[in-house]
């Protein structure tokens, strides 16, 4: 679009002071004639740019006038390009736009931004796995969200038959390579796992999004609710302090160190949706830890121990 080129032209002139039509054409990937027409259009519109003929000439901002169209600080420029470093999941269009933007940054920012773009590599696949690709459904729903169009979903909850829903897409979240759609429905805000969406069709009906909706805050509330349900049962465990990190790896945010006993063991509270789920994680420890609170968990441990003795005791 021409407006995009005119903005890019001003940014380049600001950062370099003087440009030729040929240089501008190369940077913006247009013809020299188009670049010259853009420069003349800026001048005709009252922007203080003027040509200097002859060797070493070009187009300049009058009196070194400047217009900070990017508004980027040095730290912001670095952060922006870190997001699009090698291996990060951004589209080719985003990479192309950032390449054009970095050319327009002031010299003092440009070097840091270019260095940031190659400072971090993100490899989202686990060892032994092929590279992961963003589901095609994400692109479809992202476009619907931006265009504010309702989406007709065929959605299947676990253990239920698939049903059709008409939703207002409000935002997408990628949590450890599992994608979610937060959307408005007749029953209010709902969260949909994309791997349970059998079909999605973008309609031409306008979608409604609350003026005060903030995706990050909405997702935080979703996470808090899910984690609350994942911590319905808790148990207190006594274990040597050097093993606490293992419990943390098993229970994540649902593992809290509450202090130390007189014999030097750590007092740790762990939680899960059900007693059996805690017992399953702790059974393999044998006598290396002790559950001192939560009779349901102790009962599950005894049951697991009895089953193992029955099968392997002989």
Can you list the domains of the chain with their CATH numbers?
2-64 (1.10.10.10), 74-117 (no CATH), 136-214 (2.30.30), 230-312 (3.30.70)
Give, in order, the Cα–Cα distances in Å from 29 to each of 33, 81, 84: 12, 21, 21
Element (H, E) at 82: helix 74-82
Q: What one-character DSSP code corresponds to residue 96?
A: H
CA 87 to chain centre: 14
Predicted pLDDT at 269: 96
Predicted pLDDT at 106: 59
The alpha carbon torsion through 15, 19, 22, 27 (nearest 10 deg) reads: 0
pTM: 0.58
Which residues neighbour 249 within 8 Å (Cβ) at sequence distance 6 or greater? none
Predicted pLDDT at 1: 47
Give the C-alpha separation, 93 to 142, whole Å: 14
In order along the chain (314 residues), what is the average pLDDT of each group of 10 residues?
Answer: 65 75 83 85 73 74 53 58 56 64 61 61 68 78 90 87 91 86 94 93 94 90 90 94 93 93 95 94 92 93 93 82
């Amino acid at each position: 679009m021409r407006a995009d080129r005119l903005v890019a032209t001003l940014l380049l002139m600001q950062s370099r002071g003087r440009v030729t039509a040929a240089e501008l054409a190369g940077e913006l990937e247009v013809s020299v004639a188009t670049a010259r027409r853009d420069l003349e259009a800026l001048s005709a519109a009252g922007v203080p740019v003027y040509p200097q003929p002859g060797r070493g000439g070009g187009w300049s901002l009058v009196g070194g006038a400047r217009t900070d169209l990017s508004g980027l600080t040095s730290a912001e420029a670095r952060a922006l390009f870190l997001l699009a470093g090698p291996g990060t999941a951004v589209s080719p269009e985003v990479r192309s736009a950032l390449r054009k933007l970095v050319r327009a940054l002031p010299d003092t920012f440009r070097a840091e931004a270019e260095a940031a773009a190659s400072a971090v590599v993100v490899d989202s696949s686990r060892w032994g796995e092929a590279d992961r690709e963003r589901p095609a459904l994400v692109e479809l729903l992202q476009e619907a969200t931006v265009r504010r169009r309702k989406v007709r979903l065929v959605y299947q909850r676990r253990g239920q038959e698939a049903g059709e829903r008409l939703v207002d897409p409000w935002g997408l979240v990628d949590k450890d390579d599992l994608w979610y759609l937060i959307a408005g429905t007749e029953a209010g805000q709902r969260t949909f796992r994309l791997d349970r969406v059998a079909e999605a069709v973008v309609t031409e009906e306008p979608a409604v999004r609350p003026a005060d909706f903030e995706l990050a805050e909405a997702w935080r509330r979703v996470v808090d609710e899910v984690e609350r349900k994942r911590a319905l049962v808790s148990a207190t465990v006594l274990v040597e302090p050097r093993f606490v990190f293992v419990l943390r790896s098993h229970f994540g945010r649902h593992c809290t160190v509450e202090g130390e006993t007189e014999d030097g063991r750590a007092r740790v509270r762990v939680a899960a949706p059900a007693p059996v789920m805690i017992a399953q994680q702790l059974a393999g420890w044998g006598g290396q830890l002790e559950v001192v609170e939560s009779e349901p968990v102790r009962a599950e441990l005894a049951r697991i121990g009895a089953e193992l003795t029955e099968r392997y005791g002989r």
